[in-house]
Structure 1
Amino acid sequence: MRIAAMTMLMAAPAYAQDPPLEPPPERARPAGGDGWSVTIGAAPVLTPAWQGSKQVSLSIFPDLRIAYRDVLFASVPEGIGWNAIRADGWRVGPLVKLRFGRNERNGGSPFLITGGSDALLGMGNVKAAGEAGGFAEKTFGPRDRIRLRAELRQGFGGHRGAIADVSATYRARVGRAILSAGPRATAATGDFMQTYFGIDAGQSARTGLDRYDADGGLLSWGVGGTVVRPLDRRSAITLFTSLERLAGPAADSLLIRERGQATQFTLGIGYGFRFGL
């Protein structure tokens, strides 16, 4: 699930589920330097131990981001991307993301502090995966308060499926705080679904769960929100949360029906400090 927790960590979404901490709109403005900016921080996050888990775990995610003006960006939750097109509220470009692996012993968070889950015992481990593709984003409305975003990525490594994320976000200021919230949804091909929610003959023998061949389709839908409170020109505290529901082939898997749950909730708070290079 780690992409979703990390995505909200900035969102996210769509870690592992995807995303959560969405950065403030000013993220691209360098705090001094020659166009380069770096943000460092950390965020304790309460999240399902794995995508579909009913056990909650506490992890502390590091937050490191590097950006060059409004052109290049790099971080674990947002991936590595290039705003190749920047005009009339549009941002379009290539994107590469990391999806952390899944460990059958505890769920697999590399930043786990406490919690975890043993519900995956017998399912085997899933290696970390890269996801390469592109994104398109459009902001509009008074003060660009509305943002629509879509991503399409192809996996390699731990899974070889394709993933599509879509989201809509409304942003507003209340005093010094920046609030944002909106719906999101994720769809995936059968290769992705089978990797994380399918049950093959070997897994069935080890777990006692019936075999299940997962098809492609809607993976999840839900809503997320963030509150960013700047402390000064260089630092801010962010509260983020999401409520998502697994759907289609993922929700129908016996792994979810007998050992997990379809409703997934994430809550976290993060601190970040930005400086220029």
Structure 2
Amino acid sequence: MPTTACCSTLRRATHKRAAPLLVAAFGIALSAPTWGNSWQGSLGAGATYAPNYLGSDDYDTRLLPVLNLAYGDLLSINVRDGIEWHAVRQGNWTASPFIGYTFGRDNKGDISQFEKVDGGATLGLRVSYQQGPWRYSVAGSTPVSGDVEGAKFSARAALRMPVNQRTFFTLSPSVTYSNEKWTDSLFGVSAQDSARSGVASYTPDSGYWRMGVNASLSYALTPEWTATSFIGTTYLTGSAADSPIVDELGSEWQALGGISLSYRF
């Protein structure tokens, strides 16, 4: 218990120190004259059919916000990558500190007797390289709030190419590594969870890799309105796949699909 209290205090102190620095950094960036003079991007909504939580084999449908904004060349905001400040641009290379969000784990369905894991904000750095229609990126992040601890590292490639004048196809393979603490936050089974649910307790002894690929097809209904359909699949390995949450109650294979409608301005 003392160790847990110490860790919680340290995380709160880190968050308190980091937040003012980030606010100041973004404030300075927003006031820079090189940013241009207006926001651009798209807003909308859609629906996705996806697992109840990472590792689940039960699916449900939920609403999905569409948010892709850019202010000049230095700031971008989207649901997947968070708020990015493109601090360094050199040729085709970009280095971007970012504020993101990591989802926790709801206590519903097969894990209704488990303690809920709250998601929270993350701080990280992403480095990307543009080569023709492909964009490659690597990123690392760590949570600063919520119940998830540890660190996560990912590599992603994204292809965007036209099919015809109105239709665009995107393909995005990715690989992600989450360290032992991050894995334990989402896939560990505490003694209390075990006693309530009857599932064997489990403490991961290492991190895990997650491999996936997403694809989408977007059609411009008008110059402003775009309809998009998307599908994706992910495979969990290592200590995540060995967890009873996945091995007994869920599945290492995760899939999703959905549609969205967005307005570009």
Pair in the same fold by TM > 0.5: yes
Tell me, yes or no, if the aligned pair for 1:214 and 1:250 is still in contact at 8 Å: yes
- In 1, Cα distance between equivalents of 2:111 and 2:59: 14
Q: Secondary structure at the match of 1:249?
A: helix
Q: Counterpart in 2 of 1:184?
A: 174
| Structure whose residues are more often helix by fraction | 2
User: Are residue 67 (structure 1) and residue 65 (structure 2) matched?
Assistant: no
User: Are residue 200 (structure 1) and residue 190 (structure 2) matched?
Assistant: yes
1:208-233 Cα distance to aligned partner (Å, 9 max, x none): 12121113333311211121222333
Aligned equivalent of 1:150, options 138, 157, 163: 138
Tell me, yes or no, if the aligned pair for 2:55 and 2:254 is still in contact at 8 Å: yes
Tell me, yes or no, if the aligned pair for 2:152 and 2:178 is still in contact at 8 Å: yes
Tell me, yes or no, if the aligned pair for 1:188 and 1:216 is still in contact at 8 Å: no
Q: Counterpart in 1 of 2:91?
A: 88
Tell me, yes or no, if the aligned pair for 1:223 and 1:242 is still in contact at 8 Å: yes
Tell me, yes or no, if the aligned pair for 2:182 and 2:207 is still in contact at 8 Å: no
Q: Secondary structure at the match of 1:127?
A: coil
Aligned equivalent of 1:165, options 144, 150, 154: 154
Deviation, 1:150, is 1.1
Deviation, 1:264, is 0.4
TM-score, structure 2 as length reference: 0.81
Structure 2: any 5+ residue segments left out of the alignment? 1-35
- In 1, Cα distance between equivalents of 2:195 and 2:95: 46
Aligned equivalent of 1:130, options 121, 125, 141: 121
Tell me, yes or no, if the aligned pair for 2:51 and 2:254 is still in contact at 8 Å: yes
Aligned in 2, Cα 1:173/1:257: closer, same or farther, shift over 3 Å?
same
Deviation, 1:41, is 0.5
Which AA in structure 1 matches 2:120? A
- In 1, Cα distance between equivalents of 2:198 and 2:133: 50
The number of equivalent residue pairs is 228
User: Are residue 119 (structure 1) and residue 107 (structure 2) matched?
Assistant: no
Q: Secondary structure at the match of 2:110?
A: coil
Q: Secondary structure at the match of 1:66?
A: strand
Identity %: 28
Aligned in 2, Cα 1:155/1:45: closer, same or farther, shift over 3 Å?
same
Which AA in structure 2 matches 1:81? E
Alignment of 1:94-109 (within 5 A): 94-105=97-108
Aligned in 2, Cα 1:64/1:156: closer, same or farther, shift over 3 Å?
same
Greater RCO (Cα-Cα under 8 Å, separation 6 or more): 1
User: Are residue 174 (structure 1) and residue 163 (structure 2) matched?
Assistant: yes
Select between 146-155 and 167-176 the one with higher mean Cα deviation: 167-176
User: Are residue 246 (structure 1) and residue 236 (structure 2) matched?
Assistant: yes
Deviation, 1:38, is 4.7
- In 1, Cα distance between equivalents of 2:78 and 2:200: 39
Tell me, yes or no, if the aligned pair for 1:197 and 1:255 is still in contact at 8 Å: yes
Q: Counterpart in 1 of 2:254?
A: 264
Select between 51-60 and 78-87 the one with higher mean Cα deviation: 78-87
- In 1, Cα distance between equivalents of 2:207 and 2:118: 22
User: Are residue 54 (structure 1) and residue 57 (structure 2) matched?
Assistant: yes
Deviation, 1:74, is 1.9
Aligned in 2, Cα 1:73/1:266: closer, same or farther, shift over 3 Å?
same
Deviation, 1:239, is 1.5
1:20-42 Cα distance to aligned partner (Å, 9 max, x none): xxxxxxxxxxxxx9331252200
1:223-258 Cα distance to aligned partner (Å, 9 max, x none): 111212223332211211111111111001011111
Tell me, yes or no, if the aligned pair for 1:42 and 1:271 is still in contact at 8 Å: yes
Aligned in 2, Cα 1:228/1:85: closer, same or farther, shift over 3 Å?
farther
